[in-house]
Amino acid sequence: MLARVANNLFWMGRYIERSEHIARYLRVNYFSSLDAPNQLSQSRQFVLRSMLTMVGSPIDDESVLLNEEEVLYKIGLDPNYPSSIINNVRNSRENANSARDLISTELYESINKFFHFISNYDAQVYTKNGLHDFTLNVTEMSSILRGKVRSTLMHDEIYAIIMMGGNIERATQIIRIINAKFIDAQKAQGSYGDKFKNSFEWTTLLKCTESYDMMRRFYKKTPNSITTLEFLILNPDCPRSIMNSLNQVYKHIKILDHGKRPDKDSTAFLVGKVRADYEFKSIAEIENDIQSIINKTLDRLYEISQKMEKEFFSY
């Protein structure tokens, strides 16, 4: 496979994954805030700030009054905002275009339909009353794409590259979502005696990552900061956890490495090392300094991505 095309497929996988997480974050936060148990979590300003934090454009100045329609438009359909959903989908399609000969007709057609759905979505409808419909469609269409990736491509190098992109991105988005909700949980402390550990925001966090039902089944208890973070960071069986994503990245890098024992400067070696670090970590090590595990995880993921670029994509 051409190095340039591999790079494009890697990013195609990332952009698909990214648009899904952003869309879900918008939907879950918006709708769960409507009947949230405390005043702050119900506040529109609070939710809009949380959304902007998640996409990487936080507004720290408390005196700024945000306009709901503007924020929703910016994150969803604004062609001039690089991290908007429409730009993510456009980028995934552009990347798919250049690798059109390598991916299946079925996968390409689904990506193409996805893009046309979004670019034809009426911005007025979306910001007034289409948020649920729009974001639900984005998450469903991304699921279809994941299905097409898994079932219409050979499980070879091409597949491995797309899966690595998807999983590195998933871990990145999950940790960003954790970060945004961690900030929310800190802010929401105090109102109605809501303490950080038992904040309502942990439930929202699980819903934002589609892990609430799984988590309830596993712990059979109301989520708190410790169980939620343990589940989303360390549980290898939760398909949205950092641990699970790292396992996937490791599994697929081995396809590219042809099962060789990895060289110490290779991506496979680095991924293996990072994976082992999380595998043998306990929640006790994390709970006292959540901010630093968030930052560290983002750094490690970035490092893996850089290493891949150097090893496979430089052309």
Partner 1 sequence: MENLKNQIFSSYKRNPVLYDEIYDKKGQVKEVYSKLFNLYGEHSISDFVNLNEKAKASFFNQGITFQVYDKKKTKEKIFPFDLFPRIIPPEEWAIIESGAIQRSRALNLFLWDIYHDKKIIRQKVVPMELISSSTNYLDQMTNIDPPGGIYNHISGTDVIKHNDGQYYVLEDNIRCPSGVSYVICNRTALKRALFGVFNHYKTYSVTNYAENLLDLLETVKPNGVDAPNVVVITPGMYNSAFYEHSYLAKTMGVELVEGRDLFVENDFVYMKTIQGPQKVDIIYRRIDDAFIDPLEFRPDSTLGVPGLFAAYKKGNVTLANAPGTGVADDKAIYTYMPEIIRYYLNEEPILNNVHTYHCSRPKELKYVLEHIRELVIKPVDEAGGYGISIGNRLSSKEVERVKAEVQSNPRKYVAQPILSLSVHPTYIDKNESFEQRHVDLRTFTVLGKDKEFVLKGGLTRVALKKGNLIVNSSQGGGSKDTWVLKPQ
The contact set with partner 1 (CB under 8 A) reads 1-6, 94, 97-98, 100-102, 105, 108-109, 112-113, 116, 157, 161, 256, 312-313, 315
* Closest separation in Å from C-beta 261 to partner 1: 17
Closest CA to 12 of 313, 287, 277, 214: 313
Listed in sequence order, the residues at least 6 apart from 247 whose beta carbon sits closer than 8 Å to its beta carbon are 236, 275
Instruction: Considering the complex, state which of residue 2 and residue 276 has its C-beta at the smaller distance from partner 1.
Output: 2
Alpha-carbon distance 116 to 9, whole Å? Answer: 20
Alpha-carbon distance 231 to 219, whole Å? Answer: 9
CA end-to-end span of the chain, whole Å?
Answer: 12
Instruction: Considering the complex, state which of residue 206 and residue 308 has its C-beta at the smaller distance from partner 1.
Output: 308
DSSP 270-312: HHHHHHHHHHT--HHHHHT-HHHHHHHHHHHHHHHHHHHIIII
Instruction: Considering the complex, state which of residue 68 and residue 157 has its C-beta at the smaller distance from partner 1.
Output: 157
Alpha-carbon distance 90 to 183, whole Å? Answer: 30
* Closest separation in Å from C-beta 54 to partner 1: 28
Neighbours of 124 (CB within 10 A): 11
Alpha-carbon distance 89 to 111, whole Å? Answer: 8
- What would you report as the CA-atom Rg of the chain, rounded to the nearest whole angstrom? 20
Instruction: Considering the complex, state which of residue 112 and residue 191 has its C-beta at the smaller distance from partner 1.
Output: 112
Residue 165 and residue 8 in contact, taking contact as beta carbons nearer than 8 Å: no
* Closest separation in Å from C-beta 64 to partner 1: 31
Instruction: Considering the complex, state which of residue 110 and residue 199 has its C-beta at the smaller distance from partner 1.
Output: 110
What angle is formed at CA 23 by the lines to CA 58 and CA 215, rounded to 5 degrees? 95
Sign of CA dihedral 282, 287, 289, 295: positive
Instruction: Considering the complex, state which of residue 129 and residue 314 has its C-beta at the smaller distance from partner 1.
Output: 314
* Closest separation in Å from C-beta 138 to partner 1: 18
* Closest separation in Å from C-beta 14 to partner 1: 17
* Closest separation in Å from C-beta 297 to partner 1: 26
* Closest separation in Å from C-beta 169 to partner 1: 19
The tokens describing 15, both together, are: 């952009």
* Closest separation in Å from C-beta 68 to partner 1: 26
Residue 135 and residue 27 in contact, taking contact as beta carbons nearer than 8 Å: yes
Instruction: Considering the complex, state which of residue 10 and residue 182 has its C-beta at the smaller distance from partner 1.
Output: 10
Instruction: Considering the complex, state which of residue 116 and residue 150 has its C-beta at the smaller distance from partner 1.
Output: 116
